[in-house]
């Protein structure tokens, strides 16, 4: 009998495999876990893709929603019930394409088959959590208290990324990379690699959180030859309650764009200003890259067949900066500008050499050009705020806030044609985050201890779509 507990995981795995084999909706679905990542292959109708998603990731979706029910009141001042009401008030369901309504409904069906009972409103809150908590809520604060401190927007400035082509890359073809900055509680759960084969549009190969129908931090390779990533615009302000949710436009652009023009058109149509980003996009068919700075009132597109675009949450367009942000482009000590300075140095140093291996090096870089030192702070590309005594004030992150770089991805045109990319779970600079000593040193964040665990830096791993 003492051996029984050790056998339980194998028994449960066998039962799961049996259930998949006996359920025709799961025939084309696959899941495996590797180096901190969960790979899922989802294929078929929107309902079946959703069902497979909900079924294969039921425990992870349940865990994510439970963790968010804890974190959202602390981080945004609003609880899960508020966001459910907001989804209904904003008529989000009516703004979601029928295809994605069916996919979301399928996720709830898959969850129920595994004993997890969430409705479509919960799944919409999950998918829209960033645009609602970081854009809609500050907009309400501005209306209620014009000009007050409560209205000083702290829209997230998370992530670092690049896209390069022509003389900047080793083979003259496109290379793209991204590392994800977020709060650690959410970041440890940003560990899904989804291989989605829909009935219409392009096959998608992307990272995401469990339960999301879009990438969210946005690293996507498509069978249409489009490569996508982004970094958010720091301290952006503005939200259109009548617009189309950002997560809907992002998923639609990934699935249906076959050119940079298509991508720009889909993202700008019905734009609600939620999750305002600098999108870095490439088309492997033409070897062209672009930067779409998408505000609410303004947007601008830069394009090149021989260049590099980088992102570390700094806006470039003067109209966007002046009219739609509270960002200070002259502050050399803030995180976006510090990382921008390093991006400019590295892309110059590595010109003509950017490929997978140099991309990994860049995404894991921890050198601060201002202090001329390697450090674990908000000011480096693979940054950490949990070790920074200043925190990150421009994002509303207090000293030693548990947030920073949580994972990274890299691909090239040569890999992307076969739907492959390299992924790294944990900080790509190799640092581990250890929860127990962190909470001893910073008891003010002890409230996170139920859901925030160790985050180890796993090795870079090559993932590819199912043949």
Task: Give 21's pLDDT tier (boundaries 50, 70, 90).
Answer: low
* pLDDT attached to residue 1: 36
* pLDDT attached to residue 151: 63
Q: Does position 5 have pLDDT exceeding 50, yes or no? A: no
Across 300-314, average pLDDT: 98
Tens digit of each residue's pLDDT (9 = 90 or more) over 387-427: 999 999 999 999 999 999 999 999 999 999 999 999 999 99
Q: Does position 279 have pLDDT exceeding 70, yes or no? A: yes
* pLDDT attached to residue 130: 96
Could you tell me if 126 and 69 are in contact, meaning their C-beta atoms sit under 8 angstroms apart?
no
226-232 vs 192-198, strand pairing mode: unpaired
Across 50-65, average pLDDT: 98
Per CATH, domain 157-464 is 3.30.540.10: no
Share of the chain above pLDDT 70, in %: 94
* pLDDT attached to residue 350: 98
Distances (CA, A) of 166 to 3, 172, 230, 304, 318: 60, 4, 20, 9, 27
Phi-psi region of 246 (alpha: psi -120 to 50; beta: other; left: phi over 0): alpha
Tens digit of each residue's pLDDT (9 = 90 or more) over 339-353: 999 999 999 999 999
Task: Indicate if the alpha-carbon torsion angle 312, 317, 322, 323 is positive or negative.
Answer: negative
pLDDT-wise least confident of 8-12, 142-146, 351-355 = 8-12
Instruction: Find the angle CA(152)-CA(158)-CA(161) to the nearest 5 degrees.
Output: 140
Question: Taking the model in full, what pTM does it have?
Answer: 0.94
* pLDDT attached to residue 145: 84
Three-state SS sequence of the chain:
CCCHHHHHHHHHHHHHHHHHHHCHHHCCCEEEEECCEEEEEEEECHHHHHHHHHHHCHHHHHHHHHHHHHHHHHHHCCCHHHHHHHHHHCCCHHHCCHHHHHHHHHHHHHHHHCCCCCCHHHHHHHHCHHHHHHHHHHHHHHHHCCCCHHHCCCCCCCCEEEEEEHHHECCCCCEEEEEEEEEHHHHCCCCEEEEEEECCCCCEEEEECCCCCCCCCCEEEECCCEEEEEEECCCECCCCCCCECHHHHHHHHHHHCCCHHHHHHHHHCCECCCCCEEEEEEECCCCEEEEEEECCCCEEEEEECCEEEEECCCCCCHHHHHHHECCCCCCCCCHHHHHHHHHHHHHHHCCCCECHHHHHHHHCCCEECCCCEECCCCCCCCCECCCCCCCEHHHCECCCCCEEEEEEEEEEHHHHCCCEEEEEECCCCCCCECHHHHHHHCHHHHHHCCCCCCECCCCCEEEECCC
Tens digit of each residue's pLDDT (9 = 90 or more) over 197-252: 999 999 999 999 999 999 999 999 999 999 999 999 999 999 999 999 999 999 99
pLDDT-wise least confident of 16-20, 30-34, 354-358 = 16-20
Q: Does position 367 have pLDDT exceeding 50, yes or no? A: yes
* pLDDT attached to residue 10: 44
pLDDT-wise least confident of 23-27, 78-82, 223-227, 431-435 = 23-27
Tens digit of each residue's pLDDT (9 = 90 or more) over 74-131: 999 999 999 999 999 999 999 999 999 999 999 999 999 999 999 999 999 999 999 9
Instruction: Name the strands in the sheet holding 204-208, side by side, starting at the edge strand that comes first in the sequence.
Output: 30-34, 37-44, 192-198, 204-208, 219-222, 226-232, 277-283, 288-294, 299-304
Q: How far apart are CA 355 and CA 173, in angstroms?
A: 9
Contacts of 369 by beta carbon, 8 Å cutoff, 6+ apart: 338, 341, 342, 345
């Amino acid at each position: 009998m003492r051996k029984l507990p050790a056998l339980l995981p194998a028994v449960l795995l066998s039962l799961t495999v049996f259930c998949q084999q006996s359920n025709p909706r799961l025939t084309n679905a696959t899941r495996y876990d590797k180096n901190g990542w969960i790979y899922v292959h989802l294929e078929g109708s929107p309902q079946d893709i959703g069902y497979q998603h909900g079924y294969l990731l039921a425990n992870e979706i349940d865990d994510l929603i439970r963790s968010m029910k804890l974190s959202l009141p602390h981080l945004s001042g609003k609880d899960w019930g508020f966001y459910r009401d907001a989804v209904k008030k904003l008529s989000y369901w009516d703004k979601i394409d029928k295809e994605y309504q069916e996919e979301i409904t399928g996720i709830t069906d898959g969850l129920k088959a595994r004993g997890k009972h969430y409705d479509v409103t919960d799944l919409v809150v999950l998918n829209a959590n960033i645009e609602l908590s970081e854009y809609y809520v500050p907009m309400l604060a501005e209306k209620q208290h014009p000009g007050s401190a409560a209205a000083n927007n702290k829209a997230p400035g998370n992530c670092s990324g690049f896209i390069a082509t022509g003389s900047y890359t080793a083979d003259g073809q496109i290379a793209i990379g991204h590392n994800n900055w977020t709060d650690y509680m959410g970041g440890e759960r940003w560990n899904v690699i989804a291989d989605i084969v829909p009935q219409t549009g392009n096959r998608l190969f992307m990272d995401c959180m469990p339960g999301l129908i879009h990438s969210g931090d946005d690293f996507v390779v498509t069978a249409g030859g489009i490569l996508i990533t982004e970094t958010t615009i720091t301290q952006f302000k503005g939200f259109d309650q009548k617009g189309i949710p950002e997560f809907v436009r992002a998923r639609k652009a990934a699935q249906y764009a076959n050119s940079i023009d298509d991508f720009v058109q889909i993202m700008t149509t019905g734009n609600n200003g939620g999750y305002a980003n600098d999108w870095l996009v490439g088309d492997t068919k033409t070897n062209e890259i672009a930067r779409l700075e998408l505000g609410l009132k303004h947007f601008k597109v830069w394009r090149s067949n021989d260049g590099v675009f980088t992102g570390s949450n700094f806006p470039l367009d003067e109209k966007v900066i002046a009219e739609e942000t509270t960002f200070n482009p002259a502050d050399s000590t803030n995180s976006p500008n510090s990382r921008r300075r390093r991006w400019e140095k590295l892309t110059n140093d590595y010109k003509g050499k950017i490929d997978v291996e140099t991309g990994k090096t860049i995404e894991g870089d921890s050198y601060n050009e201002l202090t001329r030192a390697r450090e674990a702070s908000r000011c480096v590309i693979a940054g950490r705020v949990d070790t920074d005594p200043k925190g990150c004030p421009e994002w509303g992150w207090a000293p030693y806030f548990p947030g920073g770089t949580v994972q990274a991805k890299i691909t090239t045109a040569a890999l992307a044609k076969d739907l492959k990319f390299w992924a790294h779970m944990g900080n790509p600079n190799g640092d581990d985050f250890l929860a127990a000593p962190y909470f001893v040193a910073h008891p003010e964040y002890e409230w996170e201890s139920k859901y925030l665990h160790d985050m180890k830096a796993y090795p870079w791993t090559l993932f590819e779509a199912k043949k």
